[in-house]
Structure 1
Amino acid sequence: MNKYICVKEAFEYIYIGHGQKKISLDELRDLQEYLEKTIPANKNALDIKHNKFRFINYVGIISINNFTIEIIPKISLSNDEKQDKKILLDMLSKCSDIELSIDNSIDSNIEKCNLIELIANKYLDSLIKELNKGNFHDYINKEENIKVVRGKIMFNKHIKKNNFKKGKIFCSYDEYSDDNLLNQTFKLACIKILNKVQDIKLKNKTKKSLSILGNVSNESKSNEIINNIKLNNQNKRFSNVLQLAKFILLNLANENSSGSKNGFSMLFEMNDLFEKYIGKIVQMLCCKNNKKAITQDKRNYLLIDTKNNKKSFNLKPDIVIEDNNIPFMIIDTKWKAVEYNSKSSYQVSDIYQMYAYANAYKQVKKVILLYPSLGEEKEYPSWKLINDDNKFIEVKTVRLDSYKNTVNDLEKIIYD
């Protein structure tokens, strides 16, 4: 029987032992080996204590052999697991430009389905809906040895291939076919899903989709090819389906954990996800108010090398907000809990970094350290620069328990 455990990132521990909600030492070793192969070497996903461990920095799902762990962010203020999953899906949707709106089908399944199953269900429903209208066909160029002339004869290849053969001609021709790159991508996403889900209804949906795509080949494609697929007027109805297929193929990792042991995962670094989510909303708010928000701005440097007079130590604040091309605010996101006057809440190095931003961006008036709100609203620190009474470094929080609250909080931070 597959063991399933759901925990909140950085807040809940998994205990080492035997039982449905515990992990054995062997399982923990398998988990560590798998993570070493699937996340960057300079990143850390586990915080291991005596007889327990927790996930830090990463959310998503990981499955190895007979156990599956789902890690969700601590977002809702009422410890609502269902709400946390909803908001995670919304964050992924906004950051990946895919349609993962919480409709009735997702809302009714969110408690009994894991992250992969929810996304797969949305993808398969969208795919089947479009395939029922008809498979997409396109002209595909083929080159092969055939018995009759079709298209044009490739003379150089014909001579090379058929020097000692009679009755065949090497031709290049266009064939109107559903075995095209778009449908191949859809099929690859279905195949990847099929071996990753346990739900019978979901497996049957996947098999139905594969049956409709029966004439389509399933050769693997590189991430670059998948990323560069473009739609036109003939196939734009598949736009949302394609974004979901890309999301599944590019994020669903499938690696050997150790020896013959197999695992798969869909993990997201929360620092990056939080930064991208806030960046998307700030850009939307600025666009509505004739302002401009630049993410990962690289225009300024900290120092100049005296030997070659070249700029050194590029500063890259998360978000720079401009009015008429003049920067007036910087927002830097930090995914961690913050409490007023608590030394453990914010690192001194973060304040030094904000000070560097304030000095490098001469016209900026406010530099904001932005944290997620995980409790009641409080008054957070605000510092004025010693040599400039018009520049401030401030700590702010933003609610993530609903998209509306996030937008409202950011609007107040930017415009109040």
Structure 2
Amino acid sequence: MSKQTITVFEHQKLLIGDDVFTTQHHKRLCDFYGTTGVPFYSLIHKGVKFNQYVGVLQLGDLTIEILPKVENNEQRKDIWRRLLIDMIWRVSSFKTHHPTASKLSIKPNAILDVYIAMYLQGIRQLIRQGLIKRYRSQEGNTVALKGNLIFGKHIQQNLVHQERFYTRHSVYDVDHELHQVLYRALLLVKRINTNVELDSEINQLQFAFPEQTNIKITKGTFDKIVLNRKTAPYGTTLEIAQLLLLNYHPDIRGGNNEVLALLFDMNVLWERFVFVTIHKYLKGTHKVREQVKKEFWQSQTEGYRSVNIYADIVITDNSDSTKVFIFDTKWKNLEGKPYPSVEDLRQMYVYHQFYNASRVALVYPSQEAKDHKGHYLKGREGDVCHLIHLGVKDTIKNFEEQIKSTTEEWIK
């Protein structure tokens, strides 16, 4: 099967006839959209319009790579591909400086390549250190009497085979839920991989990994898995397996219309990236918290719920708890306007009052770093809302450094 890739940006339209996007591909997206819809894109006449989700959408033989967009960055696809991968890694619990991620050559569908390469490296490491064994219950015929004899089934199956015993007994081996999940993800990786450089390693690991009992895997499967000190090394690999398995949607009608939607909400990713970066650099001098809740409105009618508000990032000076700074991240382009929306300004006004904030700021991505502010005409004297534009850099390290220096300057 020939593999093809299209690279687009968030909020961009993709029409039938653009690049290698065909009527059949459009039909698959329509089928996946269904009657209830999906948040990743909307359907338009003879095409789709992508929303604020970025990542990879794989439709059988076609991979659609969706990159973030800040102003006019059409000529910076390679830079944004690398930044997106690194931003995802920074905000996840995966090891940031993983060898595979840095050594993997960046291909058009590199976002998916990196996850697959990371998964293969994790599996290889687990096999090298030895797969853990667990006790499990097994039922069936044996040639020796061990465990409990299941008398009814023994009579039913072994009436003329007196040398056999139908029993329920314990087995100590590697065929258990942890490995059953990892093995299923390994089979999926072989199916969805489009990078020929990874084919050989996938085949080798599939051969080396013991075949497992086939189980139905849902979100509940992962919710029930609890890692302990012995199984802690499985953590990262299991997370990637969950990401792949739960975002893969096989075609229940047969054929080759499966869809893999490995996509991230850019609003959430931006908030998490800014928070993780600030927390990393300020944790020694400031308390940095995210999604801090305050009670906003309480109903006086019994049975009605109260309303809470949540500030994206709250920074409190360790030496003076009255110094409170709030960042509210916005993944949007102001399109040259010197002011944000009225709704955003109202939101920041409320933060001033309810969090007793010293300063508040709306934080945007931008091609160039800049900061300007405006004051509220009523309220506490000195209440000001800053508009901070964080200039996107060519590397994640430079981007983090810019966030660090801007934040330190702002909270002085």
TM-score, normalization by structure 2: 0.82
Aligned to 1:368: 361
Aligned match of 1:383? 375
Matched, 1:55 2:47: no
For residues 32 and 397 of structure 2, the distance between their equivalents in structure 1, rounded to whole angstroms, comes to 34
Structure 1 Cα separation of the partners of residues 284 and 180 of structure 2: 39
Alignment partner of 2:301 out of 307, 312, 324: 307
Residues 210-359 of structure 1 mapped to structure 2, 5 A cutoff: 210-250=206-246, 252-256=247-251, 261-289=257-285, 291-301=286-296, 303-308=297-302, 312-323=306-317, 328-338=324-334, 341-342=337-338, 346-359=340-353
How many residues align structurally? 398
* Residues 81/257 of structure 1: CA separation in 2 closer, same or farther (3 Å cut): farther
> Which has the higher mean CA deviation after the structures are superposed, 404-413 or 87-96?
404-413
CA displacement at 1:270 relative to structure 2: 0.9
Displacement, 1:216? 2.4
Deviation, structure 1 residue 206: 1.8
User: What does residue range 8-407 of structure 1 map to in structure 2 within 5 Å?
Assistant: 8-10=9-11, 13-14=13-14, 16-18=15-17, 21=19, 23-24=21-22, 27-36=25-34, 40=38, 43=39, 45-46=41-42, 48=44, 54-74=49-69, 79-99=75-95, 101=97, 103=99, 106-144=102-140, 146-151=142-147, 153=148, 158-159=150-151, 161-162=153-154, 168-173=165-170, 175-250=171-246, 252-256=247-251, 261-289=257-285, 291-301=286-296, 303-308=297-302, 312-323=306-317, 328-338=324-334, 341-342=337-338, 346-361=340-355, 363-373=356-366, 375-384=367-376, 386-401=378-393, 402-407=396-401
Distance in 2 (alpha carbons) for counterparts of 1:232 and 1:341: 52
Q: Which runs of 5 or more structure 2 residues have no equivalent in the other structure?
A: none
Shift of 1:69: 1.2
Change (3 A) 1:91 1:379: closer
Structure 1 counterpart of 2:365, which letter? P
Alignment RMSD (CA, Å)? 3.4
SS in 2 for 1:315: strand
The 3 A distance-change label for structure 1 pair 188 and 353 is: same
Q: Deviations over 1:292-320 (max 9, x none)?
A: 2332222321x232434977321122222
TM-score, structure 1 normalization: 0.81
- The answer (yes or no) to whether the contact 2:368–2:390 under 8 Å persists in 1 is no
Letter in 2 for 1:221: I
By how many angstroms is 1:176 displaced?
A: 2.4
Contact kept? 1:227, 1:246, Cα under 8 Å: no
Aligned mates of 1:265, 1:227 — CA distance in 2: 21
- Cα distance, 1:81 vs structure 2: 2.2
Q: Identify if the C-alpha distance between structure 1 residues 228 and 300 changes in structure 2 by more than 3 Å, giving closer, same or farther.
A: same
Deviation at 1:163, TM superposition (A): 6.2
User: Mind listing any 5+ residue stretches in structure 1 that lack a counterpart?
Assistant: none
Q: How far off its partner does 1:57 sit?
A: 0.3
CA separation in 2, counterparts of 1:353 and 1:255? 42
1:4 aligns to 2:2 (yes or no)? no
Q: Report Cα offsets for 1:143-188 as digits up to 9, x if no partner.
A: 555453434x37xxx3554466665353332x22111222222211
After TM superposition, give the deviation of residue 368 of structure 1 in Å.
Answer: 1.6
